[in-house]
Amino acid sequence: MVDDLLLSGNWIWILYACLGLLGIYVMSSALHFVVTYWGHKLGISIESDMRKKLFDRVQKLSFRFFDNNKTGHLVSRMTNDLMDIGEIAHHGPEDLFIAVMTLLGAFGIMLSINWKLAVLTFIIVPLMIYLSIYFSRKMSKAFKIMFADIADYIARVENNVSGIRVVQAFANEKHEINRFAGNNERFRLTKLLT
């Protein structure tokens, strides 16, 4: 457009090129809307189905399970964890497809311009993939710790609110405030590290 058409002054071809770019933009916007809308619906449906199955499963668990597990951990699993699964179901395949197509498209264009430079550039792709997997594993560990801290935080709030009469009856507010402050600080530090 800039190097050839504008210099030649061929306004008919310039107009066609602009209309072509406009058509590509409109088509891209329409496809983006479809992917966003239907992908969002898919993620919500998966999340809702899993939440229903998880709730049904919780209803059938033994008393021992509830004695050994904190309520906050269960609530966190049924809310935060399932929201993340829904987001992965929505954005995961889309982001993977876009990344692969961008990589292949860029490689194809670079091959057509200078194949030697393209091959040299793409030699580092395996290193980038290795680093991505390595840091992804580290992030997974950090997120696991963070979700455990979220669950502890929710458990602390839930236990305090549901037992507020007992706390106030024994004038135990200061002790509960200190315990909550510990949970809150641990959660803050975990969030800072992720």
Long-range residue pairs from 68-74, CB within 8 A, at least 24 positions apart, any chain: 70/151, 70/152, 70/155, 71/155, 71/158, 71/159, 72/151, 72/152, 72/153, 72/154, 72/155, 72/156, 72/157, 72/158, 72/159, 73/148, 73/151, 73/152, 73/154, 73/155
Distance CA 39, CA 135 (A): 27
Structure-block tokens of residue 5: 């058409």
The single-letter code of the amino acid at 114 is: N
Distance CA 146, CA 189 (A): 9
pTM of the model: 0.55
Q: Which residues contact 89 (CB under 8 A, 6 or more apart)?
A: 42, 43, 46, 47
- Tell me what pLDDT residue 121 has: 83
Each residue's pLDDT, cut to its tens digit, for the chain (194 residues) gives 666 666 777 778 778 888 998 999 999 899 888 877 887 787 788 888 888 888 888 888 888 888 888 777 777 777 777 777 877 877 788 788 888 888 899 889 989 988 888 888 888 888 888 998 998 888 888 777 877 777 777 777 777 777 778 777 878 888 888 887 887 787 777 767 66
